[in-house]
Amino acid sequence: MSTQNDRIAWFLGGDVICRVQPRQLRPYRLVLLGPPGVGKGTQAELLGHHLGACHLSTGDAFRAAGAVDPCHRSPAILAAQEAMMRGELVSDDQVIAMVRERIPCLSCSGGFLLDGFPRTTVQARALDAMLEEQQVTLDTAIAYEMPIDEIVARLSGRRTCADCKAVYHVTACPPNEEGVCDLCNGRLVQRADDQPDAIRVRMHAYQENTRPLTDYYAGSGRLISISALGPPTEILERTLQGIAAHTANCPSVTPETL
């Protein structure tokens, strides 16, 4: 199964409707947790192909909002961009407001793979309230774990497509042609917050604010922990096994589908 959803409802928010509507029978609603660079975005793309659910990243949504003409950026988006450049978290109020503007994505029949939200327990409670309002439930939160040295290596080699947001790595997952996206021929760029100083601040913010989230989800029996070491397809396999053990009818991985 592949994710053909164009995610424009998530990127633009408000009443915008995605051009391609999901067709799968069972929507998966998952939260992906883990430190910056552990591979949440990479797994979200792979999981999207297997489960049909849409990859919803708050970081991508902020970056997309920040890419518009500077004259049209709201003060809130400018403040968010500055926080991101420094590696700091955007304020809870602002992130929650942004997700609320996209609330139809939470009850979409295609399901969702939330990446980067929630990041604090305040955000996690707000997400639970929004899901209740939309009368849907979270299947599980998946916490990816990996030693910090490996994470820094992943982040410093990351390249992202400026157009479709596909993620590459200069050695672990290089594009066919250097600097060019395999999927859309877009230009590959290095994120501004993948510089050493900003990486250190992001790691600190993660330890302080996001780590306690694993307790939040474990406390309500909704947490699966997965090792993020090894090639992406192996991690995908572990993730799908974890989801299958937690929920019913999760599609299994076969060599043809990897």
Answer yes or no: are the C-beta atoms of 60 and 166 closer than 8 Å. no
- 177 has which bridge partners? 180
Please pick, from the candidates 90, 126, 127, 161, the single residue that binds ligand AP5 as defined by CB under 6 A: 90
Q: Which residue among the candidates 29, 63, 165, 202 is catalytic per the annotation?
A: 202
- Residues 6 or more apart in contact with residue 226 via CB below 8 angstroms: 142, 143, 144, 145, 235, 238, 239, 242
Query: Closest distance between ligand AP5 and the C-beta of residue 116, in Å?
Result: 3
Q: Which residue among the candidates 119, 159, 222, 238 is catalytic per the annotation?
A: 119
| Residue 202 binds to ligand AP5 (criterion: CB under 6 A) | yes
Output the CA angle 36-41-47, nearest 5 degrees. 140
Q: Looking only at residues 6 through 35 of this chain, which bind ligand AP5 when binding is defined by CB under 6 A?
A: 34
| Residue 123 binds to ligand AP5 (criterion: CB under 6 A) | yes
Alpha helices in the chain, H assignment, sequence order:
8-12, 40-51, 58-66, 75-86, 92-101, 121-133, 148-156, 196-205, 212-219, 232-246
Output the CA angle 252-33-52, nearest 5 degrees. 35
Tokens 């489960």 sit at which residue?
A: 51
Please pick, from the candidates 235, 240, 243, 253, the single residue that binds ligand AP5 as defined by CB under 6 A: 235
Residue 105, classed as helix, strand or coil, is helix
Query: Closest distance between ligand AP5 and the C-beta of residue 150, in Å?
Result: 8
119 carries an active-site annotation: yes
191 carries an active-site annotation: yes
Please pick, from the candidates 27, 48, 110, 116, the single residue that binds ligand AP5 as defined by CB under 6 A: 116
Please pick, from the candidates 42, 46, 65, 222, the single residue that binds ligand AP5 as defined by CB under 6 A: 42
d(CA 48, CA 32): 12
Residues that bind ligand AP5 (CB under 6 A): 34, 36-42, 57-59, 62, 83-84, 87-90, 95, 116-117, 119, 123, 154-155, 157-158, 167-169, 172-173, 193, 202, 231-232, 235
Which positions are catalytic? 40, 119, 158, 191, 202
